Structure 1
Amino acid sequence: MLLEVEDEEFYLIGIYSSMESFKMAYLLNKFLNVKLTREEHDIDFNHANYEAIYALYSYKEPNAYFSLHLVANKFKGEPKKILSSGSLFSEEEIRPQQVYLIPERKKVDYFLKISEELPRKEFVKILTKIGQIPQVQASYAFDANELKSKQNLIFE
């Protein structure tokens, strides 16, 4: 028997910045007055030839009933090991490749996912404050329903 799961609704902000994830979380905490903390388990994702790990930070507002999730969109790593390639040469040069949580938005460094319970006016304030962070080159709101890989942003 198949159960149909209702799509999770949320706001989504793409953040363009070359900072490390812990620095991004720190600055978002400072500018948004929240307390994003690193999750015990990051997002593990199996791509065709890569096992990627995307940093995940979360914050749940106890009084306002909304939550924030900051997740890295990029992971640079080596492909999964192949036991036998069947070639005469035992070792090939393996170069780290970059893989993406949301492949259709390769230029986005981080996504900030905000639960739908947040009023639209507050969402606009958050987007404006992120744009004021000097180390952020740009930030944009995305319609998550337009993403082919929207399911990759469902963490719970």
Structure 2
Amino acid sequence: MQSHKVLLDVEDEHFQLIAIYSSMEEYKMAFFLNKYLKLKLTRDRMDIDFMHNLFNAVYPLYSFKNPATYLKFELVANKFKGKPVKVLRSGSLFREEEVSPQEVYLVPEYNKVDYFLKLSEEATTNEFLRMINSIGQIPGVQAAHAIDVDNLKSKQNLIFE
């Protein structure tokens, strides 16, 4: 029997990334990004889901493709709070379990970041800096900055297709 191997070439995927620090809910963040950046982010039908060690984590995804500039914007949460069940001992009559809330991250090396705004096409430097400054003006956003995608270890986690 013949086997086929499909290789995902992450190097072909070029995008820009903005890290957003904010404790607001994702739908509010999408609303404010729409207002301040003149976008039309809407929630996708399918969220981003990853299987971590003990459970399946789901990250909400909002997207918008600007027909005038061909820029595609994707807002995704970086944190997921789940309640994994760990079996401590099952050798006796009753099974003991420990339930503890745990956070898992879409991009683990940036575990302090709450949201990522991904631009699928390269925006001009001035436009990109203007976006970062506008995001910083949103009430409830503590900080926003650009991330160097070339040095990102878990770049494949941000490819949503």
TM-score by length of 2: 0.88
Flag structure 2 segments of 5+ consecutive residues without an equivalent: none
> What is the aligned length?
155
2:91 aligned residue: 87
Aligned 8 A contact 1:15 1:110 in 2: yes
1:142 aligned residue: 147
Would you say 1:125 and 2:135 are equivalent positions? Answer: no
Q: Name which of 67, 71, 78 aligns with 2:76.
A: 71
Query: Quick one: which amino acid aligns to residue 45 of structure 1?
Result: F
What CA deviation, in whole Å up to 9, does each residue of 1:13-62 have, x standing for no partner?
A: 00000000000000000000110000000000011122100010000001
Give the distance between the partners of 1:30 and 1:81, measured in 2 at CA: 43
The 5 Å alignment of 1:86-125 reads 86-88=90-92, 89-125=94-130
Query: RMSD value over aligned CA atoms?
Result: 1.9
Q: Percent identity?
A: 58
Query: Quick one: which amino acid aligns to residue 51 of structure 2?
Result: N
**Equivalent position SS for 1:27:** helix
How much has 1:3 moved relative to structure 2? 4.9
State which structure, 1 or 2, has the greater radius of gyration over its C-alpha atoms. Answer: 2
TM-score by length of 1: 0.91
Change (3 A) 1:54 1:80: farther
Structure 1 runs, 4 residues or longer, greater than 6 Å off: none
Query: Quick one: which amino acid aligns to residue 91 of structure 2?
Result: S
Give the distance between the partners of 1:2 and 1:56, measured in 2 at CA: 25
Flag structure 1 segments of 5+ consecutive residues without an equivalent: none
Change (3 A) 1:142 1:30: same
Aligned 8 A contact 1:65 1:117 in 2: no
1:42 aligned residue: 47
Change (3 A) 1:76 1:3: closer
What CA deviation, in whole Å up to 9, does each residue of 1:43-93 have, x standing for no partner?
A: 0001112210001000000111111000000000022676x9633242323
